[in-house]
Amino acid sequence: MKRSTFFLPAALLLILFFAGTSLAQERPYEEGTVWYLTFVKTKTGMEEDYFKYLAKNWKVMLDAAQTQGLIVSSKIIGAPAANRDDWSLMLMIEVKNMAVLDGLEEKMMALVAKVLGPEDDMKEDMIKLSEIREILGEKLGREIILK
């Protein structure tokens, strides 16, 4: 009987010790900024037209958003499509963290109206865009920084 009364508390102490040490271990990485990724496939022969649109509207809009502190940065990655269903451009928008996403759409829409003009003009641009590119998908991801 004495043996079991000693064993149970000792076993509990060992479990708590190992659980505590495993929880206290540091992760081998840090969480970085958050990236909103858009995968785009330009239609044949329309890549230069799409770049003109991006320079005239997308870049101007995101430069204004960065000035106001709404985003951290933006980038475009170009890569040859691996197959006919693959993207050739990845549009990247970096924000500080997930919390920034709360209410960001409303703030960006207000900025769009201020920087790019009336909604009717934007609708015309969206119709033109559908003729020169296709959005294949979007993702939200967090940068992982290894220690």
Place 124 in a pLDDT band, splitting at 50, 70 and 90.
confident
- Domain residue spans of the chain: 29-146
Compute the CA torsion angle 135, 47, 55, 122 (nearest 10 deg). -50
Q: Tell whether pTM > 0.85.
A: no
The proportion of the chain whose per-residue pLDDT surpasses 70, expressed as a percent, equals 82
pLDDT band at 90 (very low <50, low <70, confident <90, very high): very high
* CA 13 – CA 18 distance, rounded (Å): 9
Question: How do residues 33-64 score in pLDDT, each as one tens digit?
Answer: 999 999 999 999 999 999 999 999 999 999 99
Architecture per CATH, domain 29-146, reads as: 2-Layer Sandwich (3.30)
